[in-house]
Chains A and B, each alone.
Chain A
Amino acid sequence: MCLLNITWVLKEIRGMNPSNLKFPVAEERQKMTETKNETVTKYIVISSDKVLPSDAAMKIYESEFSVTVKETCFGLIVTGPKDEVQTVIERIRQLDKNHIFIKDRGFPAGDKRRCRATLGGGPRPGFHFLREEVKMLPAIGAALDELEEKAPLREKLKEKSRIKVSVLEKIIEEELAR
């Protein structure tokens, strides 16, 4: 009876919605029943001549996974259940294995505590370091390509030789893909 009176007073006189109210006991019970949600967020940084961030985003939209995708200037931010995100990033990595780089992110995509839209513009915290690293990614990707070809990197740097036909073909394809 007393509870009904309180809700009536709040609703009619104060104009508050009683369903939004949380009593301390109810909050404690809610905390006890909560389970840890395994949601993860990953940055996919694309430094490829063949794949654009929009291509990678389309690939995710075509898939059946329930992940949130945010397209950015450097790549994508993907948020979702851990297993699904892991599968998605592996598929995206296969588009251009040595030129797509992935790292974890603490905040979910579009989180108000980090999103520039709510912080009043300007680069978000953490972007400067990412931008510096993105500059090095073409060289890191090229090194990974050479490593994949099983070429001894240090010796190859010293010796001067004619360019291989397969390498020349690859360069032409990359230039034409631009």
Chain B
Amino acid sequence: MAKVFIYPANSLILADLIERFGHKPLVIMNQIREKVTSISLDSPPLNITPEDPKLGLRYAAIEVPPGVRGRMALIGPLIEAAEASIIVENPPTNFGCVGCNRTNELMKYLIRSKGVPVLEIKYPELDEEAHDFVSKIVEFLKSLPKEKLGHDEKVADKEPSEKETGK
């Protein structure tokens, strides 16, 4: 079972497909749950503490807006844990909490430079494209190892082929 990071990080379709084919989706909702359902809330109501932007400094410099660092405090640990990734380009809605384009670019840059297998596909707009979309994702998920990877194996598999990156 591989841990698969997804972009958009809150996608229903991607999270469901990954779980359906026996892998673990790394989604932002789990990070949010950790924060908002802790029994002892340090900073109610959403439990955002001064430590969060500091955690974000591991991924973005101090000159970067605090919103990016705050988001990276949640998303960064997911990228670190990722063993594979699916990036969907041009999702229809990129506003609200996931609408920070600088964070999205940084997120995609970090996951590409991590060296794990990455599938990059376009968001489907027609029904025929949806079939292609699903088949590509299923093929990619089937190519991932079912067993949990050790650290050394993960490093050895770091070189993604051109086919995997979808280019």
A: residues with CB less than 8 A from B are: 31, 34, 36-37, 39-41, 43, 45, 101-108, 111, 113, 125-126, 128-130, 132-134, 136-137, 139-140, 142-144, 146-147, 153-154, 157
Chain B residues positioned under 8 Å from A142 (CB to CB): 127, 130-131
In the bound assembly, the distance between CA atoms of A43 and B45 in angstroms comes to: 22
Contact indicator B12/A130 (Cβ below 8 Å)? yes
In the bound assembly, the distance between CA atoms of A69 and B153 in angstroms comes to: 42
Chain A residues positioned under 8 Å from B17 (CB to CB): 140
The 9 A-B pairs at the shortest CB distance, nearest first, are namely A106-B32, A139-B130, A143-B134, A104-B29, A101-B16, A139-B127, A103-B15, A143-B131, A153-B135
Instruction: Give chain A nearest CB distance to B109 CB in angstroms.
Output: 22
Specify which of A41, A45, A106 lies most central, judged by the most chain B CB atoms within 10 Å of its CB. A106
Nearest B-chain residue to A98, judged by Cβ: B20
Can you name 15 A-B residue pairings with CB atoms under 8 Å? A36-B39, A41-B33, A103-B10, A103-B29, A104-B30, A105-B33, A106-B37, A108-B37, A111-B36, A126-B96, A129-B10, A136-B124, A143-B130, A153-B131, A157-B132
**Chain B contact residues: helix, strand, loop or mixed:** helix
Nearest B-chain residue to A41, judged by Cβ: B33
Chain B residues positioned under 8 Å from A130 (CB to CB): 12
Instruction: Give chain B nearest CB distance to A134 CB in angstroms.
Output: 8
Contact indicator B27/A104 (Cβ below 8 Å)? yes
Question: Is B157 in the interface zone, CB < 8 Å from A?
Answer: no
Contact indicator A136/B130 (Cβ below 8 Å)? yes
Contact indicator B97/A103 (Cβ below 8 Å)? no
Contact indicator B96/A132 (Cβ below 8 Å)? no
Chain A residues positioned under 8 Å from B37 (CB to CB): 37, 39, 106-108
In the bound assembly, the distance between CA atoms of A34 and B13 in angstroms comes to: 36
Chain A residues positioned under 8 Å from B93 (CB to CB): 128-129, 132
Contact indicator A101/B29 (Cβ below 8 Å)? no
Nearest B-chain residue to A135, judged by Cβ: B92
Nearest A-chain residue to B15, judged by Cβ: A103
Question: Is B155 in the interface zone, CB < 8 Å from A?
Answer: no
* Further 18 A-B residue pairs, CB within 8 A, beyond A101-B12, A104-B29: A36-B39, A43-B12, A102-B19, A103-B10, A103-B11, A104-B15, A106-B28, A106-B30, A108-B37, A125-B97, A129-B96, A136-B124, A143-B130, A143-B134, A143-B135, A146-B131, A147-B138, A153-B135
Question: Is B161 in the interface zone, CB < 8 Å from A?
Answer: no
Chain B residues positioned under 8 Å from A41 (CB to CB): 33
Contact indicator A140/B134 (Cβ below 8 Å)? yes
Q: Given the interface contacts A129-B93, A129-B98, does A144 sit within 8 Å of B30 by beta carbon?
A: no
Nearest A-chain residue to B128, judged by Cβ: A157
Instruction: Give chain B nearest CB distance to A90 CB in angstroms.
Output: 11
Contact indicator B39/A113 (Cβ below 8 Å)? no
Q: Given the interface contacts A104-B29, A106-B32, A128-B93, does A31 sit within 8 Å of B40 by beta carbon?
A: yes
Chain B residues positioned under 8 Å from A102 (CB to CB): 15-16, 19
Nearest A-chain residue to B97, judged by Cβ: A125
